[in-house]
């Protein structure tokens, strides 16, 4: 277990380091930040002074080490737009993004678990076909378009739910559906196929022969084991929702990390963009690590030796 | 099983999209950017106030939605063709090399894949959107950087198992050079897989490009893109529902068609993976 943990932590660290390297290279490709910071009529001396102040006159490897040192303390420089440190600006918005991601995941599971189980139990019947059609549509309809349609029908036409902003639990519904829409397809299919395997297995047959109610066999015994492959997907999709709800946040004017990063891209506010990419990578790595480690809890057979 | 039929509808839809991309300007009813303020916000023809001159209605500037969707197909297909060719080519080359040579080559390429895959795609896209000048080139670059791992990983796995097969061993013993084995013996054997991946990628490229263009970070006006049309329509969502539904339907239809065709191809090439 310990060796496994160390290996996974090491892999995670390499991934974050890779992300930092990509961010650093991209920053150098972006051109001279001094030109953005100084007024148009600044003199050559002003440029040199600014460059020295920012450490841009030093060799690239040195700059990278300095960048890494700062990054480890969460220092990605000051936002050009807000004149405040970039990372805290984003961390302030993390609760909104986390809330949306959790709601999106909840929606996806609420739809995928019953649908996946039922389509395995009633294989080939109408539930199964419905699940199949939903899965096809889920993959072909981009989440942000689903979001626009939801706004059109439920907010504009029927006026049932609010479309923009974050003012209460009702405001969460439409963005959560739009965000949770995409993973439903894959989750349903995965759960269906693992359920099909397990419903064929000996212990389920034993349970039935012993006269356990069908409901108990399916929802208590079969689902528990069939949920293991689903758990991996939950981790990956949750990490993606946390670190990638950019378009959905923009569609619903949700005040989260993603929208702040998109705004920053438009403003060429590089420190915020960098902080956003690194934050996403760290979240992605950490969530995946936690999911891997939690297998042992769901399924005692998987204990990493 | 019903799914074993050739997916005719998918082929027709994809054929239509390709036709629009290649020959759109010749049969589109209007110029995509032709402004007719008097006809602004005309609904689709089946609604009162609609007319067959503008079958799917017009936008706030009176531009014909159908013609713009046809014009948008050109951008989507152009981006998709370049992005698929480049990410497939680069990914396949790296995957074949990693699988065939093993050792240090494999270690380096596999680590690269690991790192790339541990960074979520969309934030990475934001990073490059902030650095590169917007437009088709940028969108293609971002997609290639995101998707090459997909090809590399799967092709590497296939080559690992092919490498152990007799025909490769025989070729080696017979003294065939490595480049020759790679090109003549390994590549043809992964072509099926590449074709399936490319077909499936077509749909996701279209969605990806639409997302970027919707945010305003991808294709820039006056070039017409489906994502850009959705972004324009979003501001008029309360008065003109067709502005956000029609381009979305175009995205959905092309994506659905390529997914169905891709699934069909995969099952045809590899009957073991047929889903029951």
Is the minimum CB–CB distance between B203 and chain A shorter than 8 Å? yes
Higher pLDDT, B74 or A2: B74
Phi then psi dihedrals of residue B257, to 5 deg: -60, -45
pLDDT at position A14 over 70: yes
pLDDT reading at B2 higher than 50: no
**pLDDT over threshold 90, residue B83:** yes
Give me the sign of the Cα torsion angle B12, B75, B61, A262: positive
B52's CB contacts (< 8 A; 6+ apart) are B45
**pLDDT, mean of residues B189-194:** 85
Helices (H), chain A: 2-29, 33-37, 44-53, 60-72, 86-121, 126-140, 143-150, 169-199, 202-209, 214-215, 223-244, 246-251, 257-266, 270-298
Helix, strand or coil for residue A78? strand
B134–A contact, CB cutoff 8 A: no
Contact: A156, B275; criterion CB under 8 Å: no
d(CA A62, CA A85): 22
CB B249 within 8 A of CB B262: no
Cα separation, B127 vs B130, whole angstroms: 5
Please tell me if residue A19 touches chain B, with a CB cutoff of 8 Å: yes
CB contact under 8 A, A264 and B130: yes
Nearest CA to B205 out of A261, A142, A26, A244 is that of: A142
Question: Is A149 in contact with B124 (Cβ distance < 8 A)?
Answer: no
Q: Look at residue B4 in the predicted model and tell me its pLDDT.
A: 65
Q: Which of B194, B190, B167 is nearest to B99 (CA)?
A: B190
Rounded to an integer, what distance in angstroms lies between the CA atom of residue A249 and that of residue A104? 12
Question: Which residues 102-131 of B are in CB contact (within 8 Å) with A?
Answer: 111, 114-116, 118-124, 126-131
Residue tagged 């096809």 (tokens): A136
Is B155 in contact with B95 (CB distance < 8 Å)?
A: yes
Nearest to B115 among A14, A265, A280 (CB): A14
Interface test with A, best of B3, B111, B130 (most A CBs within 10 A): B130
Interacting residues of A151 by C-beta distance below 8 A, sequence separation 6+: A163, A174, A251, A252, B237
Q: What's the sign of the alpha-carbon dihedral B23, B26, B28, B31?
A: positive
For residue B276, the model assigns a pLDDT of: 41
What is the pLDDT, as a whole number, of residue B91? 93
Nearest-CA distance B12 → chain A (Å): 17
**Residue with the larger pLDDT of the pair A17 and B1:** A17
Question: What is the pLDDT at residue B230?
Answer: 92
Contact B122 A246 (CB under 8 A): yes
ipTM for the assembly: 0.84
What average pLDDT score do residues B236-251 get?
88
* A 217-246 residues with CB < 8 A to B: 239-240, 243-244, 246
Residue B132, token pair as written in the block:
């590169």
Measured between beta carbons, the chain A residues lying within 8 angstroms of B216 are 266
Q: How many CB atoms lie within 10 A of CB B165?
A: 11
Of A27-31, A244-248, B70-74, the range with the lowest mean pLDDT is A27-31
pLDDT average, residue stretch A250-263 = 89
- Choose the closest CB to B122 out of A141, A244, A285: A244
What is the tens place of the pLDDT at every residue in A50-108?
A: 777 777 777 778 888 888 888 888 888 888 888 888 888 899 999 999 999 999 999 99
Do the chains contact at A277 and B126, CB–CB below 8 Å? yes
**B111 Cα to chain A: minimum distance (Å):** 9
Q: Which residues contact A277 (CB under 8 A, 6 or more apart)?
A: A19, A22, A23, A261, B119, B123, B124, B126, B127
Chain A residues with beta carbon closer than 8 angstroms to that of B120: 239-240, 243-244, 280-281, 284
Whether A218 and A121 have beta carbons less than 8 Å apart is answered as yes
Residue in chain B lying closest to A196 (CA):
B276
Of B60-64, B117-121, B123-127, B254-258, the poorest mean pLDDT is in B117-121
**Any idea what the Cα angle at residue A112 is, between residues A108 and A114, rounded to 5°?**
130
The answer to whether the Cβ–Cβ distance between A139 and B259 falls below 8 Å is: yes
Residue B219, pLDDT > 80, answer: yes
Rg for chain B (alpha carbons), in Å? 22
Task: Locate the chain B residue with the closest alpha carbon to A258.
Answer: B123
A250 and chain B in contact, CB less than 8 A = yes
pLDDT computed for residue A16 by the predictor: 85
Crossing angle of the two packed helices B136-163 and B65-101, in degrees rounded to 10: 40
Tell me the shortest Cα–Cα distance from A185 to chain B, in angstroms.
13
Test mutation, B126, B138, B213, chain A, max A CBs within 10 A: B126
State how far residue B93 is from chain A, nearest Cα, in angstroms.
22
Q: What is the pTM of this model?
A: 0.85
The whole-angstrom separation of Cα B65 and Cα B46 is 14
Q: Which of 133-152 (A) contact B at CB < 8 A?
A: 136-137, 139-142, 144-145, 148-149, 151-152
Task: Give percent of chain B with pLDDT exceeding 90.
Answer: 22
How many CA within 13 A on the CB side of residue A292?
Answer: 16
Can you spell out the DSSP letters for chain B? -GGGS--HHHHHHHHHHHHHHHHHHHH-SS-TT---GGGTTPPPTTSTT--TTSTT-B-TT--BHHHHHHHHHHHHHHHHHHHHHHHHHHHHHHHHHHHHH-HHHHHHHHHHHHHHHTS-HHHHHHHHHHHSPSSHHHHHHHHHHHHHHHHHHHHHHHHHHHHTSHHHHHHHHTT--HHHIIIIIIHHHHHHHHHHHHHHHHHHHHHHHHHHHHHTSSSPTTS--HHHHHHHHHTTTTT-THHHHHHHHHHHHHHHHHHHHHHHHHHHH-GGG---
Asked if residues A147 and A246 have their Cβ atoms less than 8 Å apart, the reply is no
Give, as one character, the DSSP assignment of residue A256.
S
Q: Is the dihedral of CA B166, B169, B175, B178 positive or negative?
A: positive
A173 burial (CB, 10 Å; 0-12 / 13-18 / 19+) is middle
pLDDT at A110 over 70: yes
Chains A and B: how many Cβ contacts under 8 Å? Answer: 139
Q: Would the pLDDT of A298 be above 80?
A: no
Confidence class of residue B275 from pLDDT cuts 50, 70 and 90?
A: very low
């Amino acid at each position: 277990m310990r060796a496994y943990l160390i290996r996974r932590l090491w892999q995670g660290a390499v991934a974050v380091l890779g992300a930092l390297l990509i961010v650093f290279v991209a920053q150098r490709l972006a051109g001279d930040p001094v030109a953005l910071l100084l007024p148009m009529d600044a003199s050559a001396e002003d440029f040199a002074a600014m460059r020295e102040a920012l450490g841009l006159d030093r060799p690239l490897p040195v700059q990278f080490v300095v960048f890494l040192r700062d990054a480890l303390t969460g220092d990605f420089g000051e936002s050009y737009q807000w004149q405040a440190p970039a990372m805290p600006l984003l961390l302030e918005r993390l609760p909104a993004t986390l809330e949306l991601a959790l709601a999106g995941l909840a929606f996806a599971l609420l739809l995928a678990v019953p649908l996946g189980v039922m389509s395995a139990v009633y294989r080939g019947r109408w539930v199964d076909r419905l699940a199949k059609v939903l899965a096809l549509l889920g993959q072909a309809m981009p989440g942000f378009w689903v979001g626009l349609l939801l706004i059109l029908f439920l907010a504009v036409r029927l006026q049932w739910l609010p479309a923009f902003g974050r003012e209460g639990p009702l405001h969460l519904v439409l963005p959560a559906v739009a965000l949770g829409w995409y993973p439903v397809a894959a989750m349903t299919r995965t759960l269906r196929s693992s359920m099909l395997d397990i419903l064929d297995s000996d212990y389920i047959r034993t349970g039935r022969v012993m006269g356990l109610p069908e409901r108990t066999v399916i929802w208590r015994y079969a689902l528990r084991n069939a949920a293991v492959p689903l758990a991996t997907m939950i981790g990956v999709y949750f990490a993606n929702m946390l670190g990638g709800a950019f378009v959905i946040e923009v569609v619903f004017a949700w005040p989260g990390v993603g929208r702040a990063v998109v705004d920053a891209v438009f403003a060429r506010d590089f420190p915020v963009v960098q902080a956003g990419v690194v934050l996403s990578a760290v979240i992605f790595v950490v969530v995946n690590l936690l999911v891997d480690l939690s297998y042992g809890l769901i399924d005692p057979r998987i204990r990493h030796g | 099983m019903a799914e074993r039929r050739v997916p005719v509808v998918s082929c027709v839809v994809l054929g239509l999209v390709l036709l629009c991309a290649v020959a759109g300007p010749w049969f589109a009813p209007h110029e995509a950017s032709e402004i007719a303020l008097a006809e602004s916000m005309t609904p689709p023809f089946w609604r009162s106030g609609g007319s067959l001159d503008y079958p799917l209605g017009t936008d706030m500037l009176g531009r014909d939605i159908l013609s713009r969707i046809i014009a948008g197909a050109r951008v989507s297909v152009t981006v998709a063709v370049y992005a698929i060719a480049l990410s497939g080519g680069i990914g396949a080359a790296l995957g074949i090399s990693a699988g065939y040579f093993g050792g240090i080559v494999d270690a380096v390429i596999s680590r690269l894949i690991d790192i790339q895959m541990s960074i979520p795609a969309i934030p990475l896209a934001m990073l490059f959107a902030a650095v590169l000048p917007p437009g088709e080139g940028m969108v293609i670059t971002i997609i290639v950087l995101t998707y090459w791992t997909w090809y590399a990983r799967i092709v590497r796995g296939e080559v690992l198992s092919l490498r152990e097969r007799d025909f490769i061993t025989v070729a080696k013993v017979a003294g065939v050079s490595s480049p020759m084995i790679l090109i003549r013996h390994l590549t043809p054997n992964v072509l099926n897989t590449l074709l399936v991946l490319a077909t499936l990628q077509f749909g996701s490229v279209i969605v990806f490009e639409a997302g970027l263009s919707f945010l305003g970070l991808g294709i820039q006006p006056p070039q017409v893109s489906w994502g850009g049309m959705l972004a324009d329509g979003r501001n008029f969502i309360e008065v003109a529902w067709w502005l956000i539904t029609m381009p979305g339907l175009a995205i959905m239809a092309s994506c659905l068609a390529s997914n169905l065709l891709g699934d069909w191809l995969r099952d045809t090439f590899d009957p073991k993976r047929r889903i029951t």
